[in-house]
Amino acid sequence: MSSDLVTYESNDGIAVITINRPEKMNALSNGVVASIRDAFIQLNESDDRCAIVTSAGDRAFSVGADLKDPPRDPELWECMPGVGVDVDKPLIAAVSGYCVGGAFCLVQFCDIAVADDSADFFYPEAQIGFCGGLIAGLAARLPHKIAMEFMMTGIHYDAQRAYEVGMVNKVVPKGQLMEGAMSYAEIFAVSAPLVMGTLKRFVRNEVLARGPSEQAGLARRDLLAISRSEDQQEGGAAFREKRKPMFKGR
């Protein structure tokens, strides 16, 4: 898959998924969210061993949900790994510039995060009177006081502060972001897929606490799978045609 909004490139078992909307500071529109979700599905179905999730341009990884074209169908949670799509392959977020709101959630749902020294993380929902709730799981990933400060105050964390509190694994100079992310990807590309997948599932399903919005997203995902299925279309058609449905489980 390669679209105008999100590109997917593969080389030597390493995928690079790029949000490609720099003129809008990579804001998460309806189309971007759908394309990120589809890129994760493609990763699952590919022979790639891991993926780097990054963005075009150097002003912003993403400024979060596009207020002029907010994600509604699909909803924002559908592009979050482990919520919208279970991804058992390692994901490395590579962040340059602003990383705001829902985009910060995307980074935190990845396994590894690398930031260059221009990165600026903040979460302004409490200051603008909006809440999607996906951020609540941050308290299971960071020390409680740090998570609460970040979620509730809208204070900006620069790359060094993000590293100090455990939001990112590594900070690199501007211009060296992909090299920093590749240093992890090259390890994952030659590591045992069954081991990595098992560890991800253990952590995702048994160790990390899920916030209410994550749990709601998981339930919604299962229900949407039914409503979007061939079986539901077949059931409706059979009812209208007064015949017995022929379900295929897909």
pLDDT at 132: 87
Answer whether residue 228 is part of any domain. Answer: no
Quickly state the pLDDT bin for 155 (edges 50, 70, 90): very high
Answer whether residue 38 is part of any domain. Answer: yes
Answer whether residue 224 is part of any domain. Answer: no
pLDDT at 171: 98
pLDDT for residue 178 is more than 90: yes
pLDDT for residue 3 is more than 80: no
**CATH code: domain of residue 60:** 3.90.226.10
pLDDT for residue 2 is more than 70: no
Phi-psi region of 28 (alpha: psi -120 to 50; beta: other; left: phi over 0): beta
Quickly state the pLDDT bin for 1 (edges 50, 70, 90): very low
CB 19 within 8 A of CB 6: yes
Q: Cα–Cα–Cα angle for 120, 125, 126, nearest 5°?
A: 115
Answer whether residue 238 is part of any domain. Answer: no
Residue span of the structural domain in which 186 resides: 6-210
pLDDT for residue 109 is more than 50: yes
Nearest to 33 by CA among 181, 150, 167, 134: 134
Answer whether residue 249 is part of any domain. Answer: no
Q: Which three-class secondary structure state does DSSP give residue 181?
A: helix
Answer whether residue 239 is part of any domain. Answer: no
Quickly state the pLDDT bin for 58 (edges 50, 70, 90): confident
Copy the structure tokens of residue 49.
């061993």
Sign of the four-CA dihedral 211, 83, 98, 132: negative
Distance CA 99, CA 105 (A): 9
Answer whether residue 88 is part of any domain. Answer: yes
Per residue in 21-36, pLDDT (tens digit) is 999 999 999 999 999 9
pLDDT at 72: 84
Per residue in 4-18, pLDDT (tens digit) is 999 999 999 999 999
Quickly state the pLDDT bin for 184 (edges 50, 70, 90): very high
Question: Taking residues 182-207, what's their average pLDDT?
Answer: 96
pLDDT for residue 234 is more than 90: no
Answer whether residue 41 is part of any domain. Answer: yes
Mean pLDDT for the chain overall: 94
CB 21 within 8 A of CB 56: yes
pLDDT for residue 50 is more than 60: yes
Question: Taking residues 161-166, what's their average pLDDT?
Answer: 98
Instruction: State how many domains the chain has.
Output: 1
Distance CA 211, CA 217 (A): 10
Among 59-63, 110-114, 209-213, the minimum mean pLDDT is found in: 209-213
Higher confidence at residue 55 or residue 68?
Answer: 55
pLDDT at 73: 79
